[in-house]
Amino acid sequence: MSNTTMDHAHAADHGHDHAHDDHPHGFSRWLFATNHKDIGTLYLIFSLVMLLAGGVMALMIRAELFQPGLQFFQPEFFNQLTTMHGLVMVFGAIMPAFVGFANWMIPLQIGAADMAFARMNNFSFWLLPPAAILLMGSFFVPGGATAAGWTLYAPLTTQMGPGMDMAIFAVHIMGASSIMGSINIITTILNMRAPGMTLMKMPMFCWTWLITAYLLIAVMPVLAGAITMTLTDRHFGTSFFNAAGGGDPVMYQHIFWFFGHPEVYIMILPAFGIISHIIPAFARKPLFGYASMVYATSSIAILSFIVWAHHMFTTGMPVTAQLFFMYATMLIAVPTGVKVFNWIATMWQGSMTFETPMLFAVGFIFVFTMGGFTGLILAVTPIDIQMQDTYYVVAHFHYVLVAGSLFALFAGFYYWSPKWTGFMYNETRGKIHFWNSLFWFNVTFFPMHFLGLAGMPRRYADYPAQFTDFNMLATVGAFGFGLSQVYFIFFVVLPAYRSGKAPGDKPWEGAEGLEWTVPSPAPFHTFETPPTVK
C-alpha cells in the first residue's frame, strides 16, 4: 500500500472517529436523546420507578386494612395514599410504559428510521420526571397530598391545601406529554411506513397505538379543562362546581368521566396490541381475523365516548339516561368479545409452547375476561347502584388494569426485551415471576368481590369486624404480589443485564414467523443514532 493510500485510510479512520464523537455519551446521551430506542428505554425505566412508588403506597393501604381499627395512619393520610396511588399508577406507571413500548416498537414494525419528531419525543419524555416530582412532593407541603380520590371530585377539591394545586399542575404537564407523544405516534404511523405497508398490513400493535393516540388527543384537553376549572374555583372566585355560586358539582363528574372512560381504553388498547403479537408467535400460526381485530379496536374507541355516565348512576340522572348508558356500556362487550374470541381461535390447533411471554398472554386473557364480566355486571344500573363505591368496583378495575394492562406489559417485556437488549432472561425465573404474580394477584383481588357484595365501601381506613377475614387475605396477597415484582427486578431483569446470554437471531426456538425477524433499520441491540441534520 502506498504512503498516500495509507494517509487516506488514516484520514478516513480519523473522520470516522469524529463521526462517532458526535454521539453523546454518558449522561448527555440520555438527557439529549433523540433516538427512539433510547427514549423508549427512558419511558420504561421511569414507569418502573413509578410502579414501585405506587406499589409502596398500595402496600401501605393494605397494611392499614389488615384488621379493623386504625393501625398505622390517620384517615386523612389514608385517603391521600389512595388518591396518590391511583394518580401515580395511571399517569406515572401504565401510560408511560405503553408509550415506551410504542417508541421502541413502532419504528421497527413499520420500517421507519425513527419517530417523526425526534426532539419533541425527547421533550415529551422529560416533562414526566418534573411532573412526578411535583406529584410525589405534594406529600411534603402543608396539609399533605390531595385526598380527593384520583378522580379529584368537586367539592372536595376546594377544601384541599397546596398539595391539590401541585397535583393539578402535575396532571397538566403529564397531559401535555401525552398529547405530544400522540402527535408523534400518529405522524410516524401515517407518514413513515415502509413502501408497500398499507394500513391493513400493519402489525396489530401499531393499529392499537394509532387508535389510542387519537383517543389521547381527543380526551386529554377535556381533563385539562376539568382541572383548570377546579383551579379557578379554588383561587380565582369562579363557581363552575360550587353550588352556592350557581355551579354544579355533578358537572365536574360529567367532564371528568368524558375523559375518564376513554382513558381506561387508552390503558388497555396497547395491551390488546401486544397480546395480538404474542399469541400468534407461540401458537405458530397467523392471528385469526386480523381485519375484525382492527374494526373491533376502532369500535371500542368510538363507543368509549358514549358510556361515560355509567360511572355516575348514583348521581340522580333520569331513568332514560340510565337506560341509555346501561345499554351503550353493554354494547362495548361485543367488540371486546370479538377480540377474546380471535385470540382463542388463534391458539386453536396451534403448536403452542408456553414460554414466559405466552404464559403472561394466556394469563392476561383469562383474568382480563373476568374483569370484563364484572364490568358487564356493573353496567346493569340497579346492580351498580348497590355496588357503587364498594370494593366490588375496586376488584373489577384492578382485574382490568393489573391483570390486564400490567400483565400485558410484562408479556411484552419478556417477548421483546431480548431484541432490545441483546440479552436473554432466565426462562425458569420468568415462569416463577408469572405463577407468583397470577396466584398472589387473585389472592389479593378476588376476595374484594365478596367484600363489595357485602357492602364494604372503598376509600375507608376502618371497617366493621365482619369484613376482617377477607381483608386479611387481601393484604397477605398484596404483599405476595409486591414481592413477586421485587423478584422480577432483582432476579429476572438485573441478572439478564449482568450475565445474560445472547438470544441469537431467533430467541424463541421454533417460533417461526415472529414479526421481529424482519430486518430492522439498525442491528437490533445497537443504539446507533441516525445522523441528525445540523
- Catalytic residues, by residue number, are 85, 114, 150, 177-178, 261, 263, 265, 276, 310-311, 336, 339, 458
Specify whether the CB–CB gap between 82 and 132 falls below 8 A: no
Burial class (CB in 10 A: 0-12, 13-18, 19+), 522: middle
What nine digits make up the cell of 67? 384488621
CA gyration radius for the chain?
24
Indicate the SS3 state at residue 281: helix
For residue 431, how many other CB atoms are within 10 A of its CB? Answer: 15
The residue count for the chain: 534
Specify whether the CB–CB gap between 380 and 313 falls below 8 A: no
Residues 6 or more apart whose CB falls under 8 angstroms from that of 201 comprise: none
Strands (E), 109-162: none
Burial class (CB in 10 A: 0-12, 13-18, 19+), 422: middle
Nearest-angstrom CA–CA distance, 44 and 39: 9
Specify whether the CB–CB gap between 420 and 525 falls below 8 A: yes
Owner of C-alpha cell 366493621: 464
- Terminal CA-to-CA distance of the chain, rounded, Å? 36
Nearest-angstrom CA–CA distance, 443 and 438: 9
Specify whether the CB–CB gap between 189 and 210 falls below 8 A: yes
Query: What is residue 352's DSSP assignment?
Result: -
* Apex 45 CA angle, 94 and 444, nearest 5: 45
The helix-helix angle for 427-453 and 407-421 (nearest 10°) equals 160
For residue 449, how many other CB atoms are within 10 A of its CB? Answer: 22
Nearest Cα to 431, choosing from 362, 371, 477?
362
Specify whether the CB–CB gap between 68 and 468 falls below 8 A: yes
**Burial readout 212-235 (b: 16 or more C-beta within 10 A, e: otherwise):** bbbbbbbbbebbbebbebbbebbe
Owner of C-alpha cell 370494593: 391
Nearest-angstrom CA–CA distance, 491 and 426: 9
Nearest-angstrom CA–CA distance, 410 and 433: 10
Q: Residue 155: is the preceding peptide bond cis (ω within 30°)?
A: yes
